[in-house]
Amino acid sequence: MKRQLRALAAAGLLVASSLVAVALGGSASADTLICEQYGSTTIQGRYVVQNNRWGTTAQQCINVTSSGFEITTLNGSSPTNGAPTAYPSVFFGCHYTNCSPGTNLPIQVSQISSATSSISYRYVSGATYNASYDIWLDPSPKKDGVNQMEIMIWLNRQGPIQPIGSVVGTTNIAGRTWEVWRGSNGSNNVISYVAPSAISSLNFSVLDFINDTRNRGAITNSWYLTSIQAGFEPWQGGVGLAVTSFSANVNGGGNPTNPPPTTPPPSGGASCAVKYTANSWNNGFTADVQITNTGSSAINGWTLTYGLPGGQQVTSAWNATVSQSGSTVTARNVGHNGSLAPGGTASFGYQGTLSGAYSSPTSFSLNGATCSRS
C-alpha cells in the first residue's frame, strides 16, 4: 500500500490529510485516493471501486467515498473515433479475479429470480464521455478475463462518440425508450441501450435488460451473470464526474427449466428459411449458410442452431460467431448482420475437418423457431 500526505491550508491552520492509493483488494473506511492504474478498494463491505485506466498511460485518480467515487485527476485523452481512456467504476460481482465481498455472482441466468439496481450520477460540462452501466455475461461461470457478452446502458452521452456497432432498433425498458446498438469490439459482443437524453439517476431491474438481450438471441438462460458495474468512459476531460450512490441485489431461486422466448415467436409454421451450400474433400469441408427471415416481423439479433453429422468439426468461421459442442453447432450474428427485416437475409460460412463420408445437416432452428430448407 502506498501512502501520500498532502498539507491543506484552511482558516490559517495546516491540516494533514492522508490520501491512500490502494492496490487490488483494499478497503475504504474514509475518503480514499486511487491513482494506481488498476487500483481498487471496497466500500460498504459489499462493492468494489476500481480506477481501471486502460486506454492511456497518463495519470488518472479517483477519490472513493463511502457511497461512490469522483474523478479528481484525468490527464489523458483519446480520439473520439476510438476507445475511451478508462472505465472508473463501482461493481458487484467478479472482474478479472477481483470479486466483491460476499457476492453470489457468477449466477446462471435461469437461476435469477430478481436483479435490481439503483445508480446516481453527477455530471460535468465541457467533457466528452458516457455514463455507462455495464452488465457482463458469459457461457461459463467466469471470474477472470473477458466475458463474451457485454450489455451497456448509456445513461448520458456527451460529445461525438457512439456505441460499438450500429443501430438495430429501439425498445422500452424501465419505463423509458432506448436506442439499441449491436456490434463486437473484437473481444466480445456488445449490445448498448442509449438514452435519448441524460439520466442522472435510475432505479431499475437489471433482469429486464438481460431478458431483452436474451430475446435478441445474444445469450441463453444457461449463460452466467458475472458482474454489474456503473461508471464513466471518458475520452476527453471529465474531472468532477462522480457516481454518488450505487446499489445492486441479485437473488436466486429462478426456474432453470423456463425456455427463452423466441424472436420472432413462431406462428403457423417456420418464420425462417436456411440455404446450406457445402463443398467437401477427403478430410475437410467448407459450408456457406444463408438465413432468410420469412416472417412479418424484423429479427434483431439471431442465433442459429443445428446438428452436424458425425465426423465433422468446425475449425474457423467468418461473418458469425460459431461454436460447437458435441454435434451441436451454434452460430450467432456479428455486428453488421444482426438485423433481418422481413424478407431479409444474412450469410456466414465456416471451414471444418471431415472424417468419413460427407453429409449436410438437415434441421435448423433460428431463435427457437424451426426453419424450412431453401
- Active-site positions read 150, 233
Cell numbers of 142, please? 467466469
The CA-atom distances, in angstroms, between 79 and each of 34, 74, 161, 234 are 25, 15, 9, 11
Cell numbers 481498487: residue: 40
Least Cα distance to 182 among 319, 340, 335 occurs for 335
CA distance 290 to 286: 14
- The strand pairing partners of 6, in sequence order, are 17
Query: Angle 159-61-28 (CA atoms, 0-180°, nearest 5)?
Result: 125
Say if CB 361 and CB 314 are below 8 A apart. Answer: no
- Asked if 252 and 224 count as a contact pair (C-beta separation under 8 A), the reply is no
CB 259 within 8 A of CB 369: no
**Helix runs in 122-247, H state only:** 206-215
Q: What share of the chain is helix, strand, coil (3-state, %, to 5)?
A: 5, 55, 40
| CA angle at 100 for the pair 97 and 106, rounded to the nearest 5° | 65
DSSP secondary structure string for all residues of 90-155: EEEEEETTEE-TT---SEEGGG-SEEEEEEEEE--SS-EEEEEEEEEEESS---SS--SEEEEEEE
- Give the Cβ contact number of residue 245 at 10 Å: 16
Instruction: For cell 435488460, name the residue.
Output: 209
How long a stretch of residues is the chain?
374
Rounded Cα gap, residues 121 and 358, in angstroms = 58
